[in-house]
Amino acid sequence: MASFASLCSLLLIVSSVLVSSYFGVSEAKPSVHLVKGLSWSFYDSNCPKLESIVRKQLKKVFKKDIGQAAGLLRLHFHDCFVQGCDGSVLLDGSASGPSEQEAPPNLSLRATAFEIIDDLRELVHSKCGRVVSCADIAALAARDSVFLSGGPDYEVPLGRKDGLNFATRNETLANLPAPTSNTTTLLTELAKKNLDATDVVALSGGHTIGLGHCTSFTERLYPTQDPSMDETFANDLKEVCPASDTNATTVLDIRSPDTFDNKYYVDLVNRQGLFTSDQDLYTDKRTRDIVTSFAVNQTLFFEQFVHSMIKMGQLSVLTGSKGEIRANCSVRNSDNADYLKSVVEEDEESLSEF
């Protein structure tokens, strides 16, 4: 009898471990605080197909060019760090001044990323009407970029509104750290956004996919070589960038440039990180152990990345009656002649019903 009882409790323990580890991976709705106004089920009633529309379309896009995933992931990061995740980076310049897009850190965002977001917006709006914001589409596109490149799948809190204005060049520069930053700068700058050392290391793991231009790292090669860089790696980079301002690109993660995995951290341990901001995470004592822990344990990295992305994705979001839902991701509605015309026509139609 006693052995039957202990067998039952053993079975119970085993099954609960299996169930929790299963849900831990696939049902990633982690213990992150939700900002007021965002929810896990925001569009369930007015656009239930939203996530499948986005995923299906991005599968098609990435089948042609998986590099686009990196462009979309970076776009969401640049949106969130400047003025919050409000789609302000998507806005074209206007009479009020040059756009965020024209500020130096944003010049290397991929033009195609902006097009992909507005194509998704068009698809979604044609199915559901103008109910989903561009900022939410950018957050979902970043999530799918991670997942469809081999990374973790996770739920995204939704309900962001699009901002009515964009940041200045100086605000943009002040909020996006340069690749020449050391860990002290990264920790100080990201702490202002309530992101801690673990978030800094995990989010930098976004550099497991994508490309960088020579100008973002040649200060590590010329005039003198950064001693924290592996010799052979440095020589290979010098071939790609024979001069500081060569207009070439190279991969951010030499081991698996198109796959979202933990190899970026293995690169850092081997002194093969591309930017100062990457490699210094391993040099600096405060972050070194976090880098090592991700290099040896991909599951740990994935869990932490999801946690930090959800945190980043809620930075200064506009919700409820704040902001708007743009009819075109690159133009605010009040500057959008087509949108204004359609609103007038709708009003006329509803008036004629009386």
Known binding site for substrate: residues?
Answer: 177
Helix (H) or strand (E) holding 121: helix 111-128
Q: How far is the CB of 182 from ligand HEM (least distance, A)?
A: 10
Closer to ligand HEM by Cβ: residue 37 or 212:
212
Site membership for ligand HEM, residue 307 (CB under 6 A): no
User: At CB < 8 A and 24+ separation, what contacts does 97-105 make?
Assistant: 97/168, 98/169, 99/166, 100/166, 100/167, 100/172, 102/169, 103/167, 103/168, 103/169, 103/172, 103/173, 104/169, 104/172, 104/173, 105/78, 105/172, 105/173, 105/176, 105/178
Q: Which of residues 199-258 bind ligand HEM (CB under 6 A)?
A: 203-204, 206-207, 209-213, 216, 252
Number of residues that bind ligand HEM (CB under 6 A): 25
* The two structure tokens encoding residue 84: 């919050």
Question: Does the footprint of ligand HEM cover residue 273 (CB under 6 A)?
Answer: no
H-type helices in 205-275, by residue range?
231-240, 263-269
Point out the annotated binding site: 79, 82, 84, 86, 88, 100, 177, 207-208, 253, 261
**Cβ nearer to ligand HEM, comparing 29 with 213:** 213
55: contact with ligand HEM by CB under 6 A = no
DSSP E strands in 47-161: the ranges are none
Distance CA 85, CA 83 (A): 7
Those residues whose C-beta lies under 8 Å from the C-beta of residue 241, and which sit 6 or more positions away, are 214, 217, 218, 221, 248, 250
| Shortest Cβ 94–ligand HEM spacing (Å) | 25
Applying CB under 6 A, among 42, 43, 62, 77 the residue interacting with ligand HEM is 77
Using the contact rule CB under 6 A, the part of the chain among 5-13, 160-168, 178-186, 259-267 near ligand HEM is 178-186
Nearest distance from C-beta of residue 98 to ligand HEM, angstroms: 19
Q: Which residue is nearest to ligand HEM (CB)?
A: 210
Residues 84 to 113: which contact ligand HEM by CB under 6 A?
A: 108, 110
Least distance between ligand HEM and beta carbon 199 (Å): 9
Enumerate the known binding-site residues for heme b. Answer: 207
- Our CB check for ligand HEM shows the closer of 99 and 287 to be 287
Q: Which residues contact 77 (CB under 8 A, 6 or more apart)?
A: 142, 203, 206, 312
- CB nearer to ligand HEM: give 124 or 274: 274
Tell me whether residue 167 or residue 186 sits nearer to ligand HEM (CB atom): 186
The tokens for 278 are: 């990457």
Query: Nearer to ligand HEM by C-beta: 77 or 154?
Result: 77
Q: What are the φ and ψ backbone dihedral angles of 315, each rounded to 5 degrees?
A: -60, 125
Would residue 78 show up in a list of annotated catalytic residues for this protein? yes
Beta strands in the chain (DSSP E): 211-213, 249-251
How far is it, in rounded angstroms, from Cα 70 to Cα 66?
8
Residues tagged in the binding site annotation for Ca(2+):
79, 82, 84, 86, 88, 100, 208, 253, 261
CB-based burial label for 346 (10 Å; 0-12, 13-18, 19+): exposed
> Annotated catalytic sites, by residue?
78
* Footprint on this chain of ligand HEM (rule: CB under 6 A): 70-71, 73-74, 77, 108, 110, 177-179, 181, 186, 203-204, 206-207, 209-213, 216, 252, 275, 277
